[in-house]
Amino acid sequence: MFLDRAPMWMLATASAIVVLVASARPLLGGGGGLPFNGQQNPSQSAAAQDNCAVCHSRLNEQRLSAPVALFSDDIHREKGFGCAACHGGDASREGVEAMDPRRGYIGKPTRERIPQICARCHADAELMRRYNPAIRVDQFTEYLTSVHGRRLAEHHDAKVATCASCHSPHSIRPASDPQSTVHPTRVVDTCGGCHADAAYMAPYAIPTDQLALYKKSVHWHTLTEVGDLSAPTCNDCHGNHGAVPPGIDSVGNVCGQCHAVQGELFRASRHAAIFKDIGTPGCVTCHSNHDVQRATDALLGVGEGAACAACHSADDARGRTAMEMRTLIDALRSEHESAHGLLIRAERSGIEVSQAQFDLNSAFDALVKARAAVHAFTVAAVSAPVGEGRATAARAYARGVRAHEELQFRRRGLAVSVVIILTLIAALALKIRQIERPTGPVGRGPRSGDRHAP
């Protein structure tokens, strides 16, 4: 998107630099193990013979020894690259000989040189194919079109971000690694390292509250608490290597990358053209940008807290449209909740209502569609899914009513059965007592001493 707007001189410059650094590889790479000739094994030439790391690890000065400790977990070291891959020189030698400029030693790269040094490998498709074919090789070209790259090239601004600003030199990890500075959960703090620093950003007259606002947003909640790594962070909206703030006419496209249905409806609505004419960006006008909150039905209408109320009132036609859309959605939500609650109570009472519950899901889907349809800003767009959803909710509610009637019938039948059973038990008990009760006095039998005894 940004390359289409980039000046031809900038693209030509990018191409020229790529060609230039490619032709200068022998000088820039030195003898430290950059496998540009396609023959060396990095693990042998860089890792096994890296005297730079051996020497620096023994130094007492933290500034010189700390990078060695950090580099132990770096992805480049894992792939077999050593110090000389970026700093030049000959890592197989020691002391001054290893840092001989004639061997390509460049020391600590200047800020302006860092993108070119990284591009020696990362802009080389053939080389990157050997190590990680999935990594794009146009980052350098994109960087030249970014706000950072343009300021670096045109104004020689030593404060702008370069590769090392975001990728933490000496401890670079894959973006999928949770400890990486560009992992989705950490990239916001990486960007905030500069953009949340008021003193650092003072020369640019840019707000520095973006980080604090973003950490109050639904996107941050979804990313960190829900664990959804697809939730947007800084680079999803602003770009990473080609970082450029979205313009008024492109905000909707940026948000539409995730919210595709809403974005399409908004672009076809009257509001899209009106917002553009008055210089108001879509999406963020109603939902904000960095501190985006979870969208609720309260945003619709002209009541307190409604986004529509910022421009409309109950007295104008558009305000009445908003109110009517809100009424439709409230009706569907209420009927869905009533049917759902009735079915849940029936289920807990032991009545089979699983099919009705399954069918009721369609009413909730209709509610979701209706909420998205409000971005068309017409009653007709909302009423269609609402009508379907209310019909489904009504059928589910009727099934719930029948389930409760069945439950009452069962309870009445159970009560009658209990009464009958208790009556039978009582009658049986009485009968048993009658059978066991004596019928008269017990007579004496003749005794052996009686004279009438035989």
Neighbouring C-alpha atoms within 13 Å toward the C-beta of 158: 2
Measure Cα distances from 71 to 27, 75, 107 in Å. 24, 8, 16
pLDDT of 48:
53
pLDDT of 442:
54
**Residue 389: is it exposed, middle or buried by C-beta count within 10 angstroms (0-12/13-18/19+)?**
buried
Domain ranges of the chain: 1-172, 178-245, 317-432
Measure Cα distances from 312 to 187, 315, 316 in Å. 38, 8, 7
Tens digits of residue pLDDT in 331-375: 999 999 999 999 999 999 999 999 999 999 999 999 999 999 999
N-term to C-term CA, the chain: 134
pLDDT of 446:
53
pLDDT of 246:
82
**Domain 317-432: assigned CATH number:** 1.20.140
Smallest CA-to-CA distance from 118 within 101, 134, 136, 102 is with: 136
pLDDT of 276:
87
Q: Which residue has the tokens 């030199």?
A: 169
CA distance 121 to 137: 9
CA distance 225 to 371: 25
> Which residues does the chain have with pLDDT short of 70?
1-49, 439-454
Structure tokens at 271: 């509001």
Residue 374 is classified by DSSP as G
Q: What angle do CA 181, 19, 162 make, to 5 degrees?
A: 25
Tens digits of residue pLDDT in 296-337: 999 999 999 999 999 999 999 999 999 999 999 999 999 999
